[in-house]
Every structure is written in structure tokens, then in C-alpha cells.
Structure 1
Amino acid sequence: MSTPNHRPAPSPSMNLRGAVDLSALKAKASAPPPAAASGGQDSEAATYVVEVTEQSFPQVVQLSATVPVIVNMYSARSPESAELTAVLQQEAASRNGKVLVANVDVDAYPQIAQAFQAVSVPTVAAVVKGQPVPLFDRAVPAEQVRALLDELMQVADANGVNGSLADGAAQAPEEAPLPPLHQEAYDAIVAGDYDAAASAYRRALAEQPADAEAKAGLAQVELMQRLQDADADAIRKAGAEEPDNIDAQLAVADLDTSGGHVEDAFNRLVRLIARTAGEDRERVRLRLLDLFEITGSSDPRVTKARSALARALF
């Protein structure tokens, strides 16, 4: 993972779908809820700041049904990480339980950073109802952090996530047990074994072909598999230089989807379908349908892209 880059901060416009679905990390864990961080921070901030591991992160994701969870991916190698962590701790204290800051040491727990497609430190994302929301991938001024968190809380409130962790409310909500094969897939994702997760989802679909959650989970895991060792810069370079190379264009669409730019991914593949035929067209169409599954069939961007797909095909 690189040290901070100098790309512009992303647009503050936020959506709850369109990036890799972290609900797969919501499997029940036997460990107790993560303890509040301590050390150099004041006790009020400590109440709403936790240090998480790969084992405790699933319960942090569960808490995102109650409050927005700010995932602060940091490294001791990065001075900018320490500065940003201090800002986030202050924000956690000032918001009095309306947000939870989850600190992740990317050197110790790279799987969490990989789930967010983090390529630099510091990187900060949020989770709302199990869905990731990219925030920024570099150190930013405290004023900008505050503004982004204000907007995040508005987005969360609009989606019914407006609880509080004050007065001991930081308890992970109870969830019904998952079907055995879904639990097997989720456990494999947490362990970073995407092949095993895909196998579990395929077996679930063999038993219940109409299992929508298994279908979406398989599409998400296959996206993780394709991007596991990907070089984002190389993918974008090939996509720009080879507009008619099917593999190159599919790879860029995957990358856009993982980063939340689903409309870019959809538009790219619809245009590609319009100028291809035969087996190439079918490959692209099937990939586009997989990306629809990842984004969610009720998402208006999917509805719009389905209409565009129909026009391209007919």
C-alpha cells in the first residue's frame, strides 16, 4: 500500500450502493464487541472510537445499521495518518454517539483495506447499513472532514440510520441466523478466501436457483476475485488505449464498480454492446448483468441502464 497520493479529493456526492457490498462481512462473530480505543485520546472521544481487527470488524459493520461507521485506514508509517486520526477522534467526540470511528491498521489487517479497494494511506470510508461510502484517500483539512461527515449524516438519516451510541447503546443488533451456505460464504470472505466463498454461493444457487442474495453475493465475490491482484493504473491505461479490447473494457468497468462509479461502468459496457456482436456481445452483456446484481435491482441507475441496454440490443 502506498503512502498518500495527491489526487483531488472525490466528489462529496454520496450513494449507498455501487461499491463492493460489505454486507458479506456481517457474519456473526464469537468475539465480544470491539472495545473502545484508549491511550492518548480523551475519554469522551474514546467512547466512540474503536480499534478493530479482521475478527471484530463484522460486528462493527453490524453497528452501521444504527449509526454511520467511519472506517479510518491508517499506517504507523504515515505521519498524515496520525494527524487525520486525531481529527476523526475529535469529530467522534463532538457528535456525541451519532457516529462511530473504526480505526484499522492496514499493515496488520490488509484484508479490510482490500475490501475497500484502498490503495493509499490514509484512506477513509464509511459504512451505512452494510454499504460502503467512499470519503477520501488522502489527508484533508479538518474543515473538509467536518463537511463530509455532515453530509454523510444527512445521507444516513435519509436511509433511516439515525441512532446513537450514547448511554451504552453500542450493541450490535441481533440478526437471524444465516442459511448454512451463506454463512460459509461470509466466513470465507472474512478469511479472504474468495474461491471458497464463490463455491459456497454456487452450491446455494444449485439448491435454490431463485436465491437472490446468493446470486448477488456470487457476483460480488467474483468481482473481488477479478480485482484481487489488479493494478488500477495499468487497467485504466489499457482501457484508454484499447477501446475495442473486450477484456480491457470489462476490467475498467469492474474497477469503476468497485470504486462506486457504477454509472461510468454501465455506460462503458452499454456502448461496448452497441458496437459488438456474437460471443463478444454476449460476454459483455453477462458482465453488465453481474454488475446490476452488485449494485441492486432497485437502484435507479440500474433501471436507467437496463433501458439503455435494451436500446443497444434491439
Structure 2
Amino acid sequence: MTEHAHVPPGVRGGIDLSSLAARAAAQQHGAPASADAAAAGAPPGSVQPGSVQPGSVQPGQAHPGTGQASPDAPFEVVEVTEFSFQSFAERSLELPVFLLLCSRLAPQCAELRTRVERIARAFAGRLVLGVADVDAQPGIAQAFQVNAVPAMLAIVGGRPLPLFQGSPEDDQLRGVFTQVLQIAAEAGVGRGPDASGGPAPEPEPQPLPPLHQEAYDAIERGDYAAAIAAYDKALKENPKDADARAGRAQVGLLQRTENADPRAVLTAAVERPQDVEAQLAAADVEIRSAQIEAAFSRLLDLIRSLPAAERDPVRVRLIELFEIVGGTDPRVIQARKDLASALN
């Protein structure tokens, strides 16, 4: 692991929180926070799974924690936001904190999150696990200057430790958790792995529904058509299957943008502002690059400019994009209101 030699101990010294602090202050006073578009991943010099080096955090440099957490403590996964990040990071003064950076637009993120949570659960009481959606919380990715998802980092005594990007195997994940806990114990934070030197037995993972597993396997081999077909079967069996509906929308986006040249697509949209297909393609590209508001605004403006009889394909696509971003996202909530207004 690259040594962060110039990062002093303490949360505010270890992590650049200035942009997040500004957002939190804005939210507290009811002012809008700026939307910095940043994707997340491990910065240059980050460590590959299993290669965390003891000594990257020197004993005495991190804030000493109590290390008294019970191994039988309940396990929780913290959904980290820009507003809550400060308090989340401060927990690293007592226990090592792990933060998984994910995106709804990266299909492997959901599967990795499931495995990370399962493996981390075996270390319950010895760590804190958080997950941040970089599409909804771009400032968190910006704070760590990372650029690809999924990615994971640890915070020990306020000091950030880049761990990996991508989707490592389970054995590598266990090694990462174990080694970071050992490093944290050397630094006076937490208790380290249990007395046997390893995690407690893991609970049995819950299998995916068969059609969901079929879709995931198809995504892994790049067969998006087969994945869509599997999700369609799942929706036929249960039209209320929200996971299948969201998964189908995500795979549809991947399929449509697989061979797209983003610059050419956006140029074509500028040149042909009333061309429905050009605008739909541009919105897809913007969603893939986490420009959520831009994509929604593009299609809402298009709907307003089209005759009523020509609006439906754009409306349908916009609803698909809502599924991808997530129904509880504030940008989706506002865009739904704008869509209802535009259609009246």
C-alpha cells in the first residue's frame, strides 16, 4: 500500500472533507448543494486485494481507540451520504471503517456488495462497514479522488487506506479484511481479527432467485440479450418484482451503449435537437457517465417540444432511466413531477 506520509492523524487531517462539509452546511440551511459529477474507484497507487502491507499505518499515528467492541455486537451496514460522511469517518477512531463505493450503473456492484456484506458479517463487532452510491453521493468519490466502481477503501484513525477496485474473489476479500484489522490493531484502533487469527464462521449466503441468477450469469459473460430475456421471464412470473424491473432497465442501458462513442453521440444530439433517437442515445450516454440531471433535463425538454402523439417513446425511456437511478433518489422524485407537468 502506498504510504500516506503527509496525511496527519485525525479525520479532518486524513481526508479532504471540504466539499462534503460544504454540502452538509448547505443541507442544514436549506440551500442547494452543488452537484459534482465524479465516478468512484481506487486512486493511483492503491493496493490489489490481499497485498495490504502492515506498517502502512504506523502505531501511534492513528488516534487510539477503545478497542472494546463486543464480538457478539449486531452487524449493520451503514448507507453513507455526503451529509453523514463526517460522523461515519469519525467512527474510525475506535474501529476500522470500510467503505464500499458502488453505482447502480455498474452491474457487478450488487453482487460484490452481497459478498462484502456476507464476509464482513463474520467480523461483526470488530469493524464498521459502509456503502456509498456514487451516483447519488458524488462528493464522496470526489473526496477520495477515485475514478472507477466498484472500489473499496478503509479508514483507520482518520487515515484513508485505498484497498482495491473491481470485484475480487472471496478469499481475497477475507484477506483484505483480516490484514486491515491487523494494521488497525497495530495502530491502537480496534481489536484485530479474533484470537484464532481469522474470522468467525460465515452465515450461509442467500442464493439469488433462479431467473435473477440466470440474468447475472448472462451479464458476466456479456450476453445482454440473454440477461434481458431472463429478467422478462421473471417479470412475467411476478410483475411486481422491482429488482427484476430495475435489473432489466440497467441491462438495457448496457446493451444500448455497448458500442457507443460518447463524443459522437453527444455531437449528433447537438446537431439534431429534434431527432428523438439522437436525444435518447445522448441521454443514455449521460446516464452512463453519471450526468443524471443532464439526461433527465434533455428528455424532459424533448417531451415539451414534441407533439402529444410523439411523446410516448421518450416517456417510456425516461421511466426506464428512473428505474436505473432509483425511485427514492431526489433527482428522480423531482423529474417525475416535471414529467407529469410536461405531459399535461
TM-score between the two structures when normalised by the length of structure 1:
0.53
Whole-Å separation in 2 of the counterparts to 1:37 and 1:263: 38
Say if 1:101 and 1:308 are closer, same or farther in 2 by CA, change over 3 A: closer
Q: Does 1:42 align with 2:53?
A: yes
* Stretch moving more, 210-219 or 277-286: 277-286
Q: Which residue of 1 aligns with 2:342?
A: 312
Q: Which residue of 2 aligns with 1:58?
A: none
Q: Does 1:252 align with 2:282?
A: yes
CA-to-aligned-CA distance 1:41-100 (integer Å, 9 cap, x gap): 733559xxxxxxxxxxxxxxxxx95799xxxxxxxxxxxxxxxxxxxxxxxxx9984347
Whole-Å separation in 1 of the counterparts to 2:225 and 2:288: 18
Say if 1:241 and 1:182 are closer, same or farther in 2 by CA, change over 3 A: same
CA-to-aligned-CA distance 1:101-120 (integer Å, 9 cap, x gap): 99xxxxxxxxx99979xxxx
Say if 1:231 and 1:176 are closer, same or farther in 2 by CA, change over 3 A: same
From 199, 206, 219, give the equivalent of 1:189. 219
How many residues matched?
A: 207
Say if 1:44 and 1:206 are closer, same or farther in 2 by CA, change over 3 A: farther
Tell whether the 8 Å contact from 1:67 to 1:98 is kept in structure 2 after alignment: no
TM-score between the two structures when normalised by the length of structure 2:
0.49
Q: Which residue of 2 aligns with 1:224?
A: 254
Name the SS for the 2:259 alignment partner. Answer: coil
User: One-letter code of the match for 1:98?
Assistant: V
Q: Which residue of 1 aligns with 2:315?
A: 285
Structure 2 gaps of 5+ residues are: 1-18, 24-32, 40-47, 58-75, 81-92, 110-128, 147-154, 162-176, 182-191
User: One-letter code of the match for 1:251?
Assistant: A
Name the SS for the 1:43 alignment partner. Answer: coil
User: One-letter code of the match for 1:42?
Assistant: Q
Say if 1:212 and 1:42 are closer, same or farther in 2 by CA, change over 3 A: closer
Tell whether the 8 Å contact from 2:272 to 2:278 is kept in structure 1 after alignment: yes
- RMSD value, Cα: 4.6
Whole-Å separation in 2 of the counterparts to 1:310 and 1:114: 30
Whole-Å separation in 1 of the counterparts to 2:100 and 2:247: 27
Tell whether the 8 Å contact from 2:219 to 2:227 is kept in structure 1 after alignment: yes
Shift of 1:205: 0.6
Q: Does 1:98 align with 2:97?
A: yes
Tell whether the 8 Å contact from 1:19 to 1:295 is kept in structure 2 after alignment: no
Whole-Å separation in 1 of the counterparts to 2:278 and 2:313: 13
Shift of 1:254: 0.9
Say if 1:44 and 1:242 are closer, same or farther in 2 by CA, change over 3 A: farther
Say if 1:115 and 1:95 are closer, same or farther in 2 by CA, change over 3 A: farther
Whole-Å separation in 1 of the counterparts to 2:249 and 2:276: 19
Name the SS for the 1:42 alignment partner. Answer: coil
Shift of 1:219: 0.4
Spell out the pairing of 1:287-306 with structure 2 (5 A cutoff).
287-306=317-336
Structure 1 gaps of 5+ residues are: 1-10, 21-34, 47-63, 69-93, 103-111, 117-126, 141-148, 154-162
Q: Which residue of 2 aligns with 1:208?
A: 238
Shift of 1:280: 3.0
Structure possessing the higher radius of gyration over alpha carbons = 2
Q: Which residue of 1 aligns with 2:167?
A: none
Tell whether the 8 Å contact from 1:65 to 1:130 is kept in structure 2 after alignment: no
Say if 1:278 and 1:175 are closer, same or farther in 2 by CA, change over 3 A: farther
